[in-house]
Structure 1
Amino acid sequence: MFDFIKTKTIVAPYEPIEFPVLDNEDLTYRFNVAELAKNAARENRPDMNYKGEDANELDFHHKIETYAHQATIKVKQLTEDLRNNITSTSINKEITDVENVEKEFKNKVSAEFTPLLTELAAVRGDVIAAEDDLSDFKKVNKLRRSADYPESHVLTLGILVFALLIESLLNGFFFAKGSDFGLVGGVSIALIVSLLNISIGYLSGWWVFRYKNHISRKWVYCSTILFISTVVVSIVFNLLVAHYREALGVDPEHAATLAVSSFQDGLLSITDVESWLLFMIGIVFFSLAVYKGYSMDDPYPGYGKMSRKRNRLLGDLDELRKEMIDDLDELHQYHLEIIEIKYVDLQRRQKLLNGFISSFEYQMGIYRSYIKNLRSNLNYIIATYRDINTSERTAPPPAYFDSKYNAEFDLDEVSSDYDDKRYEIARLLEGLADSLPAKKAYMLNFKEEYHQKIDEVAKL
């Protein structure tokens, strides 16, 4: 029925007790039968009127019966163990467990996925609300295009950091001339200047300049005025930095005072070429920061943020839907594997039971054959003893010598009965095998129903 089930040879769970086949001639020699028979015959024993077995015959009987007793004790213990195992072998609980797997699957799915469906519906509601907000935003702001913004800001931020470092290094060479700490001191001053310059440019492009695209004329005017103001601030700031650079070359100790004084005398009164170059570098990197700040998001203010929120919620909805379907499939596969594992275990139990019974019957067969052989051995020994005794004595032998000896042993009974459950277990397994396809089909249909529920809840 299942592809994963492999036919295996089940070895009997108990090693049988083997008994050696005793040789008649060897026993006759070992028991000194001929010598004992001749010694008794010389004295004409047993007397012709003697009835029953004589002492030698009783001794032979006792020795052989001892073998039988020893074998009986061993076999009785082994068969008792086997009988207990046969009696205790049952598959009723396992059959019930397999039959309940589909119910457990149904209960598990209902318990785990009912709250998840509620969560999925809540996320779907958030998506719909975000879609409505975005739609209203586009309608109010007369936007017919999709939002345009980079998926990641890593490149932009990397460029800004790189620009900051480059500007700091370039400016550092110019400031090194008047710094007590040389190039290191110059770069430190330049880093602060560059950070202010690029920060102003970035904020101007990212927040201020974007509002020039707003539908409201008020925001456009405000944006234009504020942006022009930031540009003017940047120009003034970089001119002041250039004046400071020039003052460093004249009087480093009073550079700040000289720079303010020179700035007040005239914005463009700088005469040092390197200071003008410093000014140009500041303006270039300010412009780059404006551009990168502006390109960080959609040109229309607020549009990118709302679009990203909608897209993030859409991603959450799709991710949750996929996770639920994957978990449902995994749960379904897990319960299928439980059925298969339990079914294999049931087959193993069936084969184990067959092994117990085979071991029991095999052992009983060995035991019966051994006892039969012991009787045959004793019959032979007694017959040999009487024949030699009769031929060697001078008086007639007792009358019972003429009767055929039939050995009997006084042994504890070894019961051959056991509870044969093979037919019942085979019937239960066959019934289970017939019902499994329907159970698996039910579980599959139930899983598909929940697939549909998940898709319906997540559908927009």
Structure 2
Amino acid sequence: MPKFESLTRLYDSLRESSHDFRITTDPFPPLDPEKLAKSMEIERKAAENGKANIPAGNARELDEVERAIVERVESQRDDAFQILEEQLNTYATRLRNLDFDGHFSQIEMTNHSSVEDFQADVTKGRDELFIRRKDLKATDEELEDFRKRNGLEKRVARVRGSLETWLKVLFVALLLIVETVVNGIYLAKGNDSGLVGGIGYAFGFAFVNVIGTFLLALFGIRQLNRRSFTLKIIGFISLLLWIALAIALNLAMAHYREISATAVDNIGPLVRQRLVSDPLGLADIDSFVLFAGGVLFSIAALLDGLFMTDPYPGYAGTYQRYVDARDDYAAEREHRVEGLKDIRDDHNEKIEGIIQGLSKRRKECAAIIDARTRMTKLFGEHQTQLESVGRKLLAIYREENRAARTEEEPKHFKAQYKMERRKVIIDTSDDWSDKDLSERIQTAQAELSAQMKRISKAFEDAVSAYHELDHIYSETINGSPA
């Protein structure tokens, strides 16, 4: 059964998550100028430096405190920029992992490979059915030939089920047991070992009487139904042999009962002598009952053997081979069709999953780009806020310093702080516009839908191809195409 390997890989890749990150709710926490002024002791340092007229009036560079303020603000800016770069790299990785180009290419490949995989399994099933159909045709012709040769065209063979066959076998065994017990009771009278000895002799008589009759009926007497004159003669001889066996054996058992009651030695020769000289000379009514009972058991075994299977020898076996081949072919074809249904349904389920996955990734792509834009905007706002904090801290320092000075303040005290902005460069090489992506996904969905139709068409063609075998190797009157 094809596994649609390329389709499965595409299906699984679209089901996998394209990232393993956590977005923070506040990536750039703002600085609190009041708290920062206290922690840096700006007012105290400003007053001390002002009393010492630091920085000097002719100073062109920032003093130590001013540099510390600027460094603190710009350090915060650099940290935020590092966070931004990490986030942008994460977004870029997520966009690359969406891999729309790769998935679209895989879709094009699966359009061919999936149908080819399906057709390969169809071909495999057809080859297997071809062999089984030939076997069915052979058994069908064998049965048809058997019917014509034996004049059985208008009669269906009587085939016994396994349960019915076992019941008939058990019936023979029951006959053997019952006759052994009954005869044992009658023969125990003249046996030195009593009932045990009587049953021993009775089993020997019963075995020949029941099993011998059953085998003669099954393999011999049924030959009377044959069209061949020679086989009919064999059947007739078997019938005569059974009659002789049933009468002679049961008479011998009856005479054995009477003779064993009076004689101790040479019972066998005496029984043979009595059978020749006076076969019906039974003095005891129980001996007649024993004889009649044995004949009845023999007749029961005869009927069981005659109707163990179809009365015409060989017909049931030939017909059963045909039925087995027919059922085997029908079961195999049903198995193959159900297998193709499962493959088709699995394929279509994966196609639907791929279509849903593409739509989901389109939304994810738009969300990533929006989040990236929002992050960039937040960083710009954060730089503005940092610049404002820097100006405020410098204003606090310079105001306190100016108030404590006795000399002229440096000129740069009047200059407003302007923080150098970090420029954000975004790699948009993996970006898809929502319009282009929507159109491309719609095209891919159309291709996948067409692929589903091709698989469904291939399934219908496969079922038709399987049924064509019925006409290539059609059956005779034994059965119509299954």
What interval of TM-score do these two structures reach, taking the shorter chain for normalisation? 0.7 to 0.9
Question: TM-score w.r.t. structure 2 length?
Answer: 0.81
2:408 matched to which residue of 1? 396
CA distance in 2 between counterparts of 1:346 and 1:264 reads 102
Task: Return closer, same or farther for 1:253/1:50 CA change in 2, 3 Å cut-off.
Answer: farther
What one-letter code is carried by the residue in structure 1 that aligns with 2:33?
A: N
Task: Return closer, same or farther for 1:22/1:437 CA change in 2, 3 Å cut-off.
Answer: same
1:36 matched to which residue of 2? 45
Matched, 1:422 2:432: yes
2:111–2:448: 8 Å Cα contact kept in structure 1?
A: no
2:350 to 327, 330, 338: 338
Task: Return closer, same or farther for 1:157/1:63 CA change in 2, 3 Å cut-off.
Answer: same
Matched, 1:120 2:129: yes
CA distance in 2 between counterparts of 1:42 and 1:184 reads 140
2:446 matched to which residue of 1? 434
* 1:367-412 deviations in Å (ceiling 9; x for gaps): 3333332222111111111122223323332222222222337x6x
Matched, 1:171 2:180: no
What one-letter code is carried by the residue in structure 1 that aligns with 2:158?
A: Y
- Shift, 1:183, TM fit: 5.1
2:19–2:94: 8 Å Cα contact kept in structure 1?
A: no
2:253 matched to which residue of 1? 241
Higher alpha-carbon deviation: 263-272 or 64-73: 263-272
- Shift, 1:144, TM fit: 4.5
CA distance in 2 between counterparts of 1:189 and 1:393 reads 145
Matched, 1:60 2:69: yes
CA distance in 2 between counterparts of 1:403 and 1:197 reads 135
CA distance in 2 between counterparts of 1:14 and 1:361 reads 18
1:149 to 152, 155, 158: 158
CA distance in 1 between counterparts of 2:160 and 2:116 reads 43
2:21 to 14, 27, 30: 14
1:120–1:458: 8 Å Cα contact kept in structure 2?
A: no
Matched, 1:327 2:339: yes
CA distance in 2 between counterparts of 1:252 and 1:380 reads 143
CA distance in 2 between counterparts of 1:154 and 1:145 reads 28
SS of the aligned residue for 2:420 comes to: coil
- Shift, 1:250, TM fit: 4.3
1:48–1:395: 8 Å Cα contact kept in structure 2?
A: yes
1:231 matched to which residue of 2? 243
- Shift, 1:291, TM fit: 0.8
SS of the aligned residue for 1:151 comes to: coil
- Shift, 1:458, TM fit: 1.7
2:190–2:258: 8 Å Cα contact kept in structure 1?
A: no
Higher alpha-carbon deviation: 376-385 or 194-203: 194-203
CA distance in 1 between counterparts of 2:189 and 2:302 reads 30
Alignment of 1:317-396 (within 5 A): 317-354=329-366, 356-396=368-408
Task: Return closer, same or farther for 1:398/1:325 CA change in 2, 3 Å cut-off.
Answer: same
SS of the aligned residue for 1:48 comes to: coil
* 1:182-226 deviations in Å (ceiling 9; x for gaps): 656654554443333222222232232323333345544442232
2:253–2:291: 8 Å Cα contact kept in structure 1?
A: yes
Matched, 1:287 2:296: no
CA distance in 2 between counterparts of 1:160 and 1:270 reads 29
Unaligned runs of 5+ in 2: 1-14, 475-482
Matched, 1:451 2:463: yes
2:119–2:458: 8 Å Cα contact kept in structure 1?
A: no
Task: Return closer, same or farther for 1:405/1:94 CA change in 2, 3 Å cut-off.
Answer: closer
CA distance in 2 between counterparts of 1:258 and 1:356 reads 115
2:316 matched to which residue of 1? 304
2:205–2:249: 8 Å Cα contact kept in structure 1?
A: no
CA distance in 2 between counterparts of 1:251 and 1:317 reads 68
Unaligned runs of 5+ in 1: 1-7
* 1:292-344 deviations in Å (ceiling 9; x for gaps): 11112223333333333333332233223323322322332233233234444
- Shift, 1:59, TM fit: 1.2
RMSD of aligned alpha carbons: 3.3
- Shift, 1:232, TM fit: 1.0
Task: Return closer, same or farther for 1:114/1:184 CA change in 2, 3 Å cut-off.
Answer: farther
